[in-house]
Chain A
């Protein structure tokens, strides 16, 4: 199944807790099932997005590291 990305959040340069907080705020504007792509450079965000998705029930579809940039693809619960 191909994943259509509804919106991309460029959160590069931001530190904890802003990547999570801004993603959560943005997700409220999406409908359930819609997908957001997040770009971040905070190394802590790797663990944080996994924990946040586990806790909130939003689905972490993919995550990858490219140089110093981390990419997360998340489907809203």
Chain B
């Protein structure tokens, strides 16, 4: 079995070398935790800096960072309003997936990041928009949560669906964060 693996290696390497280089990145952001959103935005801005075409599709809890920080209650019915009370969204209100400790974890992360001059999610989001990264919110999850365009930050692309994101992803490196 190891012989087969060894034989296949040069072929695989040759294929990898001739494979067309991909200059496009599509990130599916489904998580709204600070520790998911932060690396998403770091990768998106860096890819843009490398001259790549970048699209970030924000779906489900991934919509949280796109909610305006000054918006408190969103939604039309009691369930959507209750959801927004449980998590208001906005880059300043994101939580950690682990070690959240009722907000103490994120507060420490933000302090550490500021001390180490790491750009905040808000700064990275604005940079991404300025650099031409397309930030596309998922229309279906917006409807589900009762989020309206006026609840969300400026600089977003037109809300779209899974087919749009997948069509963009067909010739791109894709990440699901």
Residues of A at under 8 Å CB distance from B? 13-18, 20-21, 23-25, 52, 55-56
Contacts A/B (CB < 8 Å), 21 sampled: A14-B117, A14-B119, A15-B117, A15-B118, A16-B46, A16-B118, A17-B45, A17-B49, A18-B119, A20-B49, A21-B45, A21-B48, A21-B127, A21-B131, A24-B51, A24-B131, A25-B127, A25-B131, A52-B49, A52-B50, A56-B50
Interface of A, secondary structure class, is helix
Could you tell me if B116 and A24 are in contact, using CB atoms closer than 8 angstroms? no
Residues of B at under 8 Å CB distance from A? 42, 45-46, 48-51, 116-119, 127, 130-131
The number of inter-chain residue pairs (CB within 8 angstroms) is 42
Known: A20-B49, A23-B49, A55-B50. 17 other contacts (CB 8 A): A13-B117, A14-B119, A15-B118, A16-B46, A16-B118, A17-B119, A20-B46, A20-B50, A21-B48, A21-B49, A21-B127, A24-B49, A24-B50, A24-B51, A52-B50, A56-B50, A56-B51
